[in-house]
Structure 1
Amino acid sequence: MATAALLKKPVKLALVQLASGSDKTRNLTHARELVHTAAAGGANIVVLPECFNSPYGCDHFPTYAETLLPSPPSATQSPSFHALAAMAAETKTYLIGGSIPELDPSTKKYYNTSLTFSPAGKLVATHRKVHLFDIDIPGKIRFQESEILSPGNKISIVDLPEYGKIAVAICYDIRFPELAMVAARKGCFALVYPGAFNLTTGPLHWKLQGQARALDNQVYVALCSPARDMDAGYHAWGHSLVCDPMARVMVEAGEGEEVVYAELKNEGIEEARTGIPIYEQRRFDVYPDVSQGECRFEDAV
């Protein structure tokens, strides 16, 4: 695979690790402040965490859910949609709006949904979390998103015309390498995952999953977590990070609120793919190429 055009020019990416409380209006205002901080730091792409506008938890999803369809929703139907659009336009950045709980009025189903906006404040992609966080580790944690949420059914590849393509997925989606493989083989230079790993899975697998997806696919991988709040009902791991295409951790946040930055360059992809040429060495005569199957993609907005 030719890689020269995957990332057309260097881009500075910022991960906004923030804590969200029960007041949605305050959460949106706080997010706006930190998105402006990220832009002032030179970011071209800004990423917010999973459920940035509300507490994370099955008990909270219905209370904080917003209606996004038909698009665009009114400000009453989705204050978060309009807040994100304004943040992107004000800062002239691509804004990956973490995720918010969504209610589809036509089906009455709830989703965990990520919205991406252009520097003009226009919606360019919507990703509904494909893999729901249903786990049960005895004595540690039990969490069943499927008790409230429904899964999305599309891979979300987003074209950023000045830079190239990225893929957006949410948290538990990162544990399924097929989704990442498809996105990378379709020409993405980065995989972006707003997520909220907890204090059990975080120390075990958060960084490992980011490095694994980068190693598998020789692309940049960004994970954006909420900040840790031990007074909240759900304790996020934090440690938002960016891995390069050689699986090196370029930057990693701590536990608290923080904005971290990484400069992404096509040379990083070239280094990985020239030195370790797995794109030329795959044996599709022995095993199938998952990117050539009947994959479902998010339609362009």
Structure 2
Amino acid sequence: MRIALAQMQSGIDPQSNAVAIVQAIGSAAKGGAAMVFTPEMSGLLDRNRARASGHIMTEDQDIVLSEVRRAAAEYGIWVSLGSLALKGGSDGRLVNRSFLIDAAGSVRARYDKIHLFDVDLPTGESWRESAAYAPGKEAVVADTPVGRLGLSICYDLRFPALYAVLSEAGATILSIPAAFTVPTGQAHWHALMRARAIENAAWVVSAAQVGTHEDGRKTYGHSLVVDPWGEVVLDMGEQLGVAFAELEQERCNEVRTQIPVIAHRRAVSDALVVS
């Protein structure tokens, strides 16, 4: 099955970002894709929280989600909307939420980012996601035309236990939309994406943000598709736009037969000995 990835440079205006996403959905559909994947924070990327707050809505009010659902139905294509910043956290904080939207424009699944990025980087950049966002509590898998999809977002990438849960629940494709910083991207992006694919004998699809954004941040790009053997079959580099890849379900079956990592997993926490 053919998929498309949209590599974006989202900015501080949700309406402009919605236009870009809809254009990408149209391009993906015209290119024959059954499904298109977009990056983390597709609808708004603004580290100025005071300015951003006026654009962040509840799910039923969000213009980006509304436009994406409309476009999915218009073009008859599934959309994995990487994530949106939304009001609605149980403790009053925001949520970083990914959506799976079918070809009729209906929301089939939602996933709230579980692992939040709190760090001070050597470059002087400081990130405190937990100051604004509540963590999700549930892992999510859903059936799609291209296979069973396990949802995650960006920093989740560094926590392999999540992907073990997803693959054990039948996921053969792992979606990891991202807005990776340049230093961490250069150091870890390809290695971690390939590791998650190899550990789970699953396809990894990672649509990413790229370039210098309106709020001043710089993101790494390199949207990837990695096959279940760990081979990179698509790397978009620093190019904006839409690119395509073919996902072969049989490839997942072949790798899991050669190295049956799912079947061979054992719970080890109860067997831990501390001496």
Structures share fold, TM-score greater than 0.5: yes
2-structure distance, mates of 1:283, 1:168: 23
Post-superposition offset of 1:230:
5.7
Sort the Cα spacing of 1:56 and 1:245 in 2 relative to 1 into closer, same or farther, 3 A: farther
Task: Name the aligned partner's letter for residue 216 of structure 1.
Answer: E
1:123 aligns with 2:114: no
Deviates more, 1:234-243 or 1:222-231: 222-231
Task: Tell me what 1:112 maps to.
Answer: 96
Deviates more, 1:20-29 or 1:232-241: 20-29
1:274 aligned to which of 257, 263, 273: 257
1-structure distance, mates of 2:142, 2:233: 23
Task: Tell me what 2:117 maps to.
Answer: 133
Post-superposition offset of 1:58:
5.8
Task: Tell me what 1:87 maps to.
Answer: 71
Post-superposition offset of 1:127:
1.0
Post-superposition offset of 1:194:
1.0
1:204-223 residue pairs with structure 2 within 5 A?
A: 204-223=187-206
Task: Tell me what 2:157 maps to.
Answer: 174
Post-superposition offset of 1:52:
1.2
Task: Tell me what 2:25 maps to.
Answer: 35
Task: Tell me what 1:6 maps to.
Answer: none
Q: Which runs of 5+ in 2 are unaligned?
A: none
Percent identity of the aligned residues?
Answer: 33
Post-superposition offset of 1:105:
7.6
1:66 aligned to which of 57, 65, 86: 57
SS in 1 for 2:181: coil
2-structure distance, mates of 1:142, 1:218: 34
Post-superposition offset of 1:185:
0.9
SS in 2 for 1:155: coil
Task: Tell me what 1:258 maps to.
Answer: 241
CA RMSD of aligned residues (A): 2.0
Post-superposition offset of 1:199:
0.8
Task: Tell me what 1:299 maps to.
Answer: none
Sort the Cα spacing of 1:282 and 1:237 in 2 relative to 1 into closer, same or farther, 3 A: same
1:46 aligned to which of 36, 40, 46: 36
Task: Name the aligned partner's letter for residue 17 of structure 1.
Answer: Q
Residues 2 and 245 in structure 2, CA contact (< 8 A), matched pair in contact too? yes
Task: Tell me what 1:3 maps to.
Answer: none
Sort the Cα spacing of 1:282 and 1:111 in 2 relative to 1 into closer, same or farther, 3 A: closer
Q: Which has the higher helix share?
A: 2
Q: Deviations along 1:231-259, whole A, 9 cap, x unmatched?
A: 54211100000000000001000213121
Task: Name the aligned partner's letter for residue 191 of structure 2.
Answer: L
Aligned pair count reads 270
Post-superposition offset of 1:171:
0.4
Q: Deviations along 1:24-59, whole A, 9 cap, x unmatched?
A: 211111211111111111111101111111124262
TM-score calculated relative to the size of structure 2: 0.91
2-structure distance, mates of 1:227, 1:269: 29
2-structure distance, mates of 1:252, 1:163: 20
Post-superposition offset of 1:132:
0.6
Post-superposition offset of 1:21:
2.0
SS in 2 for 1:194: coil
1:232-247 residue pairs with structure 2 within 5 A?
A: 232-247=215-230
1-structure distance, mates of 2:244, 2:231: 15
TM-score calculated relative to the size of structure 1: 0.84
